[in-house]
């Protein structure tokens, strides 16, 4: 079966051929005709099955046809969007938008990724002329909708991508509020690795008469990130980290720390215990940072201690583990950090060292994940100041960074 037999036109099929896709994957075979027919869709499919292209390709086809049918006169008005793709994380938003840009290179369609944790001014600016396909995380989207930076009256399609993860991460209220603002007449597509009871309830409330398809799990390509934490007294943190590196024979780790000063101190503490590490922080010049990153990617540096900001843009496909030497102040940042491992189908681990004064951050992170992170204990490091078990429905009262 070919992509053109599914109803996609040359402008799109030529791109997938160039990309080396010889045939549609099972989810693409089933989903593309349904999406093109304008029906609602609920699909159980995981990352790695080709699910992104299964909704992006027909969506682009529809938008292109819409343009043609109006002889290109149907111009998008300012601050308007035609399709909205909601994703749980900034990483996924960026990734989906990159796919859209790739698949639409022969089309005159615009797309954009929008997410929180960064200045919103450039995003507002980019919305001024309207965007055909907007990929967004729920919080930032709602924020900008409240500020009237965008309007939904020309929207024709809503895609909920990785719906189960969005619900796990506590986005249900935001999603409901967004849906309330959308035109009633629209096409709805929901993709989820699993159709849990919560996903089913969301689908029932928001999606009528959907075609349902389910694709067998593809374990080989599913990113697998094992998360665990060790509680530790603050004064023992560097000794515990050295112990883990040595005992568990870590070949590589990206170690996140809060401050530049802390990074330098940890590198020297590791050095005293015979472990070679390098630090990456905002105090180093751009050239030095780039060299360190290149050396880390090439495996010349094995232990890299980095502040969150300095590690932005660090993209390594087969990073085995990330370590939160300090927990980030924001739960989103935790999710972003752990997403740097377990890429491209490889397995990865995310380890956090948690002392009692991190309890507040831990509660926020575990509430965001919707589950408790499993704890490991090491006999050589008994804990004097116990870290209590989190309260999972914890909501931070004060959103500014907690005191250290
Ligand atoms: P996804 O499940 O959407 O995350 O896609 C996983 C990977 O499969 C991406 O890197 C796509 O570029 C690739 N891909 C998608 N469709 C096909 C196809 N029909 N043939 C080969 N690779 C594909």
pLDDT tens profile 146-157: 999 999 999 999
Domains contained in the chain, number:
2
Q: Is 279 in the pocket of ligand 1 (CB under 6 A)?
A: no
Q: Is 104 in the pocket of ligand 1 (CB under 6 A)?
A: no
Interval between CA 268 and ligand 1 midpoint (Å): 43
Is residue 361 one of the residues assigned to a domain? Answer: yes
Which of 182, 214, 246 is a domain's end point?
A: 214
CA distances from 248 to 243, 275, 378 (A): 8, 13, 12
206 and 314 within one domain = no
228 and 160 within one domain = no
Ligand 1 atom 12 nearest Cα: 50
334 and 293 within one domain = yes
Is residue 388 one of the residues assigned to a domain? Answer: no
Interval between CA 210 and ligand 1 midpoint (Å): 24
**348: number of Cβ within 10 Å:** 20
pLDDT classification of 222: cutoffs 50, 70, 90: very low
CA 351 to chain centre: 18
Instruction: Using DSSP, state whether 8 is helix, strand or coil.
Output: coil
Biggest distance spanned by C-alpha atoms of the chain: 73
Q: Is 45 in the pocket of ligand 1 (CB under 6 A)?
A: no
Is residue 63 one of the residues assigned to a domain? Answer: yes
Lowest-confidence pick of 2-16, 63-77, 181-195: 63-77
Q: pLDDT tens for residues 155-200? A: 999 999 999 989 988 899 999 999 999 999 999 999 998 898 999 9
| Alpha-carbon span 57 to 190, nearest angstrom | 15
Interval between CA 54 and ligand 1 midpoint (Å): 9
CATH of the domain at 88: 3.40.50.300
Instruction: Using DSSP, state whether 351 is helix, strand or coil.
Output: strand
Is residue 400 one of the residues assigned to a domain? Answer: no
CA distances from 191 to 20, 52, 188, 365 (A): 24, 9, 10, 24
Q: pLDDT tens for residues 306-362? A: 987 666 656 666 788 999 999 998 887 888 788 777 765 567 899 999 999 999 999
258 and 300 within one domain = yes
Which of 189, 214, 239 is a domain's end point?
A: 214
Pocket test for ligand 1, best of 48, 52, 135 (most atoms within 8 A of CB): 52
Q: Is 50 in the pocket of ligand 1 (CB under 6 A)?
A: yes
164 and 33 within one domain = yes
Is residue 255 one of the residues assigned to a domain? Answer: yes
| Per-residue pLDDT, 75 | 79
Is residue 366 one of the residues assigned to a domain? Answer: yes
105 and 69 within one domain = yes
| Alpha-carbon span 195 to 352, nearest angstrom | 30
**Do the strands 347-354 and 224-231 form a parallel or antiparallel pair, or are they unpaired?**
parallel
Ligand 1 atom 13 nearest Cα: 50
Contact 282, 256 (CB under 8 A): no
**81: number of Cβ within 10 Å:** 27
Domain span holding position 88: 4-214
Look up residue 169 and give its two tokens: 């991460």
| Per-residue pLDDT, 403 | 40
Is residue 201 one of the residues assigned to a domain? Answer: yes
Residue 127 belongs to what H/E stretch? helix 121-127
């Amino acid at each position: 079966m070919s992509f053109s037999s599914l109803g996609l036109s040359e402008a799109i099929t030529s791109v997938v051929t160039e990309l080396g896709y010889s045939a549609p994957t099972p989810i693409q075979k089933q989903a593309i005709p349904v999406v093109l027919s304008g029906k609602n869709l609920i699909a159980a499919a995981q990352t790695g099955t080709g699910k992104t292209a299964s909704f992006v390709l027909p969506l682009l086809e529809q938008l292109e046809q819409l343009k043609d049918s109006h002889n290109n006169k149907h111009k998008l008005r300012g601050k308007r969007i035609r399709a909205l793709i909601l994703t749980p994380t900034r990483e996924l938003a960026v990734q989906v938008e990159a796919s859209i840009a790739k698949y639409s290179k022969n089309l005159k369609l615009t797309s954009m990724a929008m997410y929180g944790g960064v200045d919103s001014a450039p995003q507002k600016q980019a919305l001024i002329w309207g965007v055909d396909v907007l990929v967004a995380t729920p919080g930032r989207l709602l924020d900008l909708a409240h500020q009237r930076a965008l309007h939904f009256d020309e929207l024709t399609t809503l895609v909920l991508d990785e719906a189960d993860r969005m619900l796990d991460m506590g986005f249900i209220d935001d999603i409901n509020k967004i849906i309330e603002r959308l035109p009633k007449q629209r096409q709805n597509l929901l993709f989820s690795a699993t159709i849990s009871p919560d996903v089913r309830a969301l689908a029932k409330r928001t999606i009528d008469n959907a075609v349902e398809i389910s694709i067998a799990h593809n374990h080989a390509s599913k990113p697998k990130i094992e998360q665990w934490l060790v509680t530790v007294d603050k004064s023992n943190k560097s000794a515990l980290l050295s112990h883990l590196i040595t005992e568990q024979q870590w070949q590589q780790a990206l170690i996140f720390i809060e401050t530049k000063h802390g990074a330098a101190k940890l590198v020297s503490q590791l050095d005293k215990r015979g472990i070679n590490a390098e630090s990456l922080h905002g105090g180093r010049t751009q050239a030095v940072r780039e060299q360190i990153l290149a050396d880390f990617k090439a495996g010349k540096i094995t232990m890299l201690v980095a502040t969150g900001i300095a590690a932005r843009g660090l993209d390594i496909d087969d990073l085995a583990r990330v370590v939160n030497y300090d927990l980030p102040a924001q739960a989103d940042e935790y999710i972003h950090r752990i997403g740097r491992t377990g890429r491209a189908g490889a397995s990865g681990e995310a380890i956090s060292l948690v002392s009692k004064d991190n309890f507040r951050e831990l509660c926020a992170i575990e509430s965001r994940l919707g589950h408790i992170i499993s704890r490991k204990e090491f006999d050589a490091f008994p804990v004097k100041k116990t870290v209590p078990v989190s309260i999972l429905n914890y909501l931070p009262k004060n959103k500014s960074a907690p005191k250290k």
